């Protein structure tokens, strides 16, 4: 009797295990997969959030966006992070992921342009003429110059290029507070942790605590270009419609309102 009981328990346990495995094998509803996933440069947040809201209202298709420095996003793509669309704040990081075969052939478009500016706390933002030989180090005093980390953040690379062209980099290099993104650099100025910062013109409207002190001459740095592309691994059937919408006349006002220029 004891033997039969043990056998029954084993059979019952096996049946329960099989049932559990059967349940576990049923795929969970792919709600997250239904959303269009976008990796976008941090400076795109205001414009893209507004554009995405309009796209969703019109189409019913939802979009989720991961904002960060372009270099960080490119590395995430390289490490297998899933995304349908990549928006970089410079062509270098787009070229990087393209060489890694992470971009769908023929989809890259140089969509937007921007400018870099010198910002300060709103109540201290006196006009500054940014030119060759200006005393930027004197303006900083004992404070720091907030900007994106030049090795990985496009705004930081543009900022360093401009400062080198104007002959100012060597005098402020040791005063630079390199931030993980352009929005992080903006926050350092807004919080009073740095008297000045270099950010995109389009970032300024996102923080009422800062104001533009001066604009860098366009010829002091390479052209600021935001390329967009569909990723090679995108499987979402709505990606192309979203991508086309981003390039359309419907989307342009959302970018222009934040200060971007349309390149195409």
Rounded CA gap, 245 and 18, in Å? 48
Strand ranges of the sheet holding 176-179, from the earlier edge strand across to the other edge: 176-179, 145-148, 196-200, 116-121, 210-215
Report the pLDDT value the prediction gives residue 125, as an integer from 0 to 100. 84
pTM above 0.85, yes or no: no
Residue ranges in the chain whose pLDDT is less than 50: 1-32
Report the pLDDT value the prediction gives residue 21, as an integer from 0 to 100. 34
Report the pLDDT value the prediction gives residue 9, as an integer from 0 to 100. 40
Residue 87 tokens read as 């928006």
């Amino acid at each position: 009797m004891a033997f039969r009981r043990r056998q029954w328990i084993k059979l019952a346990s096996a049946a329960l295990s099989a049932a559990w495995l059967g349940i576990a094998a049923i795929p969970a509803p792919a709600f997250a997969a239904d959303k269009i996933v976008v990796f976008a440069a941090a400076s795109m947040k205001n414009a893209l959030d507004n554009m995405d809201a309009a796209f969703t209202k019109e189409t019913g298709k939802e979009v989720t966006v991961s904002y960060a420095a372009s270099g960080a996003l490119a590395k995430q793509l390289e490490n297998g992070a899933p995304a349908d669309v990549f928006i970089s704040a410079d062509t270098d990081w787009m070229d990087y992921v393209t060489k890694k075969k992470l971009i769908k052939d023929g989809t890259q478009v140089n969509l937007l342009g921007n400018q870099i500016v010198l910002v300060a706390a709103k109540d201290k933002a006196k006009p500054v003429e940014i030119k060759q030989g200006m005393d930027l180090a004197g303006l900083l005093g004992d404070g720091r110059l907030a900007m994106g980390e030049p090795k990985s953040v496009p705004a930081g690379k543009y900022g360093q290029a401009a400062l080198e062209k104007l002959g100012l980099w060597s005098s402020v290099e040791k005063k630079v507070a390199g931030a993980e993104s352009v929005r992080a650099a903006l926050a350092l100025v807004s919080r009073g942790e740095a008297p000045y910062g270099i950010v995109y013109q389009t970032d300024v409207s996102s923080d009422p605590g800062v104001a533009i002190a001066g604009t860098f001459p366009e010829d002091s740095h390479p052209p600021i270009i935001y390329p967009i592309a569909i990723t090679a691994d995108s499987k979402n059937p709505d990606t192309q419609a979203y991508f086309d919408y981003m390039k359309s006349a419907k989307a342009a006002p959302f970018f222009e309102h934040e200060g971007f220029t349309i390149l195409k």
